[in-house]
Amino acid sequence: MDVIEDVLGNLHLRSSVFCRMALAAGWGFSKDPLAGVPFHIVISGQAVISGGTVGETYRMAQGDIAILPGGDAHELLHHEHARRVPFSDVLNTIGVPPWQPGHHFETCAFHYGQESDAAGTVIISGVFHFGDRSYTPLLSGLPKVLLLRQNNAGPEQHALAQIVSLLDREISSDHRGRGTVSAHLTDILFVYALRAWLATDARSGAPGLLRGLADRYIASVLQEVHQRPEAHWSLDAMAATAGQSRSRFAEHFRTVMGMPPLTYVTDWRMRQAARRLLISGSRLASIAELAGYRSEASFSKAFQKWAGCTPARFRRERGQARDEPI
């Protein structure tokens, strides 16, 4: 059981590429917050991410990728002193509607400023979308700006560079189906970005699923819980899987994951149950059993505490848009 694949399978990642921008020197945009996860790739030149709610200033060179897991407002600039204009105004000027979750977005390519300016930058921008952010455990623990530098040695960075090259070539072409190909390449880009983070910085990141997967004790437990969520998981059983004492495991799990062990088990069971409520017509008793509950009543009580509504209401209201990810 691949935990990352398991979680991604529940999320139904949908990526969109906003645009490929050729920008003259001195450009600068202020970008509003998004319900998705925006990303920027520097194809050539340089860029700075600053302002808004991202906190620090991040400088980007050719080949670098920046992902903003919180969808925070930010400024995308040629340099820190560049004049800012609202990016929404730029899109409005060229007749491109703002991105909306769940809507098809047609990728565009445009120049901004003097096209002949050799000191400019080329950037690909887009967004990863997962639906309701509260059901997205992969984003917890990531920094406000996940910056993947092309000059970092490692197989993941090399693979990312190849994906970026293919993406840039596809966007720049007039091939049929380029929008579909670009979206799928961007989905793959996200998975490789997670791999790169796991291989380098996850162990020192904030508590969350990715840090847990990078921890040799916790990863084995997560693997088993995802493989058998319906099993009778106790603190003793999880500690034995990790090869730690009960007290040591409980403390270590909370530090790495940001929650107690049994809270994570319940959370994952509820995510699986929520998915089954929307994509299947299974009886509640069957869903409760697969989630590790012996009765519908105990399952319904736990689900209502987790989701804020009963399983029946969740299925009725959220099922009206079944193509939305959990």
Predicted local confidence at residue 140, as pLDDT: 73
315, two tokens: 């299925």
In a domain, 210, yes or no: no
Predicted local confidence at residue 116, as pLDDT: 54
Report the number of distinct structural domains present in the chain.
2
Digitized pLDDT (tens) for each residue of the chain, 326 residues in all: 577 777 776 666 778 888 899 998 889 999 999 888 999 999 999 999 998 777 789 999 999 999 998 889 999 999 998 999 999 998 888 887 777 776 666 777 888 876 555 557 999 999 988 765 554 677 777 888 999 988 776 777 788 999 999 999 988 887 777 778 888 899 899 988 888 888 777 677 778 888 898 888 999 999 999 989 999 999 999 999 999 999 999 999 999 999 999 999 999 999 889 888 988 888 999 999 999 998 999 999 999 999 999 999 998 887 654 444 44
**Same-domain status, 175 and 57:** yes
**Same-domain status, 189 and 245:** no
pTM of the model: 0.81
**Same-domain status, 171 and 282:** no
In a domain, 22, yes or no: yes
Give me the sheet containing 37-44, strands edge to edge.
108-112, 14-23, 121-129, 37-44, 65-67, 146-148
Q: Is the dihedral of CA 17, 22, 25, 30 positive or negative?
A: negative
Whether the CB-CB separation of 128 and 190 falls below 8 Å is answered with yes
**Same-domain status, 227 and 184:** no
Burial group, residue 1, by CB count within 10 angstroms (0-12, 13-18, 19+) = exposed
Instruction: Determine the 3-state secondary structure of 273 from DSSP.
Output: helix
Predicted local confidence at residue 134, as pLDDT: 53
In a domain, 254, yes or no: yes
Question: How many Cα neighbours within 13 Å face the side chain of 145?
Answer: 24
**Which residue segment(s) compose the domain that 187 sits in?**
3-197
In a domain, 49, yes or no: yes
Instruction: Tell me which DSSP letter residue 137 carries.
Output: G
Could you tell me the CATH number of the domain that includes residue 135?
A: 2.60.120.280
Predicted local confidence at residue 144, as pLDDT: 87
Boundary (domain end) residue, out of 197, 227, 243:
197
Predicted local confidence at residue 115, as pLDDT: 58
Whether the CB-CB separation of 264 and 304 falls below 8 Å is answered with no
**Same-domain status, 222 and 136:** no
**Same-domain status, 229 and 165:** no
Torsion of CA 220, 69, 58, 183, to 10 degrees: 100
Could you tell me the CATH number of the domain that includes residue 271?
A: 1.10.10.60
Whether the CB-CB separation of 264 and 225 falls below 8 Å is answered with yes
Predicted local confidence at residue 50, as pLDDT: 92
265, two tokens: 């088990």
Q: Comparing C-alpha atoms, which of 139, 138, 137, 161 is closest to residue 148?
A: 161
Predicted local confidence at residue 36, as pLDDT: 87
